[in-house]
Chains A and B, each alone.
Chain A
Amino acid sequence: MKERGKMRKINAKDITETVAGLCVKTNLTLSDDVTGRIAECAKTDSSARARGILEKIQENIKIAGEEDIPMCQDTGLACIFLEIGQECEITGGFIGDAVNEGVRKGYTEGYLRKSVVPDPVRRGNTGDNTPARIIYEMVPGDKLKITMAPKGFGSENMSQIKMLTPAAGEKGIKDFVVNVVREAGGRPCPPIVVGVGIGSTFDGCALLAKKALLVPFDKKNDDPFYAAMEDELLEKINALGIGPQGFGGDTTALAVKILTAPTHIAGMPVAVNINCHVSRHATAVL
């Protein structure tokens, strides 16, 4: 542990610039694991209509990257995950202000859509896509890790949480997850990504589900029990036949990712956060 005064300094301006860059990057490009899985499904889906839609989705990604047009007009509510090393010191302003300034800059200068209303009931529009949803986490070390994940609400609206009790068991979890996807049907822009949180508290469980959407598709769950559950859920979801855009096919979900945490003896919360095929996120380390 470094003594105070010997902390690694990070300037708020650098945070702003980094966040602004991530806002633009995430809305114009997808990571290789996502594009790779879409390309694979475009070849293997048994429905010709599904393959046709997946090809158009690939074409969309190509145009977005080449011509700097956002992949989706819903450029999302900026969900920003900060892992703050306890041995770094932020100088030149409050970290939250620096992040919001980055969102303001990225969304304005990047011609991204402003989708944030200042009051959930009385509506309106803040005009610059702030405030971001910022998740602060203290971690060991002297680095600042920033992950930006713009979240569209077509899929967010289809997400659900349930406070299952221990008696519901493994079956209760699986039934709930599959049912959330079934109820969502063609609404969340399938093929979707399914983030599942199990355990923790009501709020903690929802955050686990959201964080699960950040896990790379090719990273296998460290716990073989949950790795098997992810595989089984993906198979069950794709057997629903919802397909791309809800018009039938084998590609309802691109991936199912599970994150878990310890919970209370009386509970087994499960949250399902759905993301669309434009599964956007990128990370930078300062």
Chain B
Amino acid sequence: MDKKLTSPFTKEKIKELRAGDSVLITGTIYTARDEAHIRMLEEYDAGTPMPLPIEGALIYYVGPSPAAPGQVIGAAGPTSSYRMDPFAPRLLDMGMAGMIGKGPRSHEVVEAIKRNGGIYFAAIGGAGALISKSIKKAELVAYEDLQTEAIRKLEVEDFPVIVAIDCDGNDLYEE
């Protein structure tokens, strides 16, 4: 039975979710992958504000394919999360609520999730067409020049994920 979750969500809500749970997310999420992570943290260190409201944000690691006429977005499945492991602990410490991606995370990320009461969801890698059906709106937020790697604000409805690492550090990839 799928659990329902509205994003943004409270830390109390995260505590109800356990590794292995199937969850349908509705609400606002932000996209960011490799280059967007590098740039936003470099710019932040140089004094520029973050391009997205990181406090409470749920970040989706995705580089969608372009929308054809009449589509909100193209295929939009997750990319491998481990490449964002160097950045995730810092973003969690800054208040990021959680992440959606695919594949296992480093020990440091698991520790940062525990420390901050965060969460890591896995979407099905390679199910880009299926996942695109749950994305109702996509809006460019920053870094248009990065094309597919730009930061976008997505409105999603019943976006299907599995809790891969819960707030207590239970890790589905380790079981």
Contact = CB atoms under 8 A, between A and B. Distances in A.
Interface of A: 49, 52-53, 56-57, 59-61, 63-64, 67-75, 111-115, 123, 125, 127, 152, 154, 157, 185-187, 189, 245-248, 276-278
Contacts of B103: 154, 185-187, 246
Contacts of B80: 154, 157, 187
A154 B126 CA distance: 10
B130 A56 contact: yes
B125 A189 contact: yes
Contacts of B68: 68-69, 111
Contact of A63 (B20, B22, B133): B133
B122 A73 contact: no
Q: Please name the 5 residue pairs, one residue from A and one from B, whose CB atoms are nearest each other, closest first.
A: A189-B125, A60-B130, A113-B65, A69-B129, A64-B129
B175 interface: yes
Given A113-B148, A114-B147, A63 B129 contact: yes
A61 B162 CA distance: 20
Given A56-B124, A56-B160, A113-B63, A72 B77 contact: yes
A277 B35 CA distance: 26
Contacts of B164: 247
Contacts of B64: 73, 113
A245 B124 contact: yes
B94 interface: no
B87 interface: no
A202 to B, nearest CB: 26
B124 A73 contact: no
- Name, among A123, A186, A246, the residue most crowded by chain B CB atoms within 10 Å (CB to CB): A186
Contacts of A185: 103-104, 173
Interface in B86-110: 102-104
B67 A60 contact: no
B172 A59 contact: no
B76 interface: yes
Contact of B66 (A71, A113, A154): A113
Contact of A278 (B126, B132, B160): B126
Contact of A187 (B20, B22, B63, B82): B82
8 contacts: A52-B22, A69-B129, A69-B132, A70-B65, A72-B128, A154-B80, A245-B122, A247-B164
Given A72-B77, A154-B80, A248-B175, A53 B124 contact: yes
A186 B172 CA distance: 10
Interface residues on B, range: 35 or more
B62 A73 contact: yes
Contact of A70 (B62, B74, B125, B172): B74
B129 A60 contact: yes
B133 to A, nearest CB: 7
B127 interface: yes
B126 A57 contact: yes
- Name, among A72, A75, A276, the residue most crowded by chain B CB atoms within 10 Å (CB to CB): A72
A67 B130 CA distance: 10
Given A186-B173, A187-B103, A189-B102, A70 B128 contact: yes
A58 to B, nearest CB: 10
Nearest to B127: A60
Contacts of A247: 122, 162, 164, 172-173
B41 interface: no
Interface string B63-85: 11111100100111101101000
A57 B127 contact: yes
- Name, among B77, B82, B133, the residue most crowded by chain A CB atoms within 10 Å (CB to CB): B77
A154 B147 contact: no
Contacts of B172: 247
Contacts of A115: 63, 148
A70 B75 contact: yes
Contacts of B132: 69
Given A49-B20, A73-B74, A111-B65, 16 more contacts: A57-B124, A57-B127, A69-B71, A70-B74, A71-B75, A71-B127, A72-B125, A73-B65, A75-B75, A111-B67, A113-B63, A113-B65, A185-B103, A186-B102, A189-B125, A245-B122
B75 A73 contact: yes
Given A113-B63, A186-B173, A127 B104 contact: no
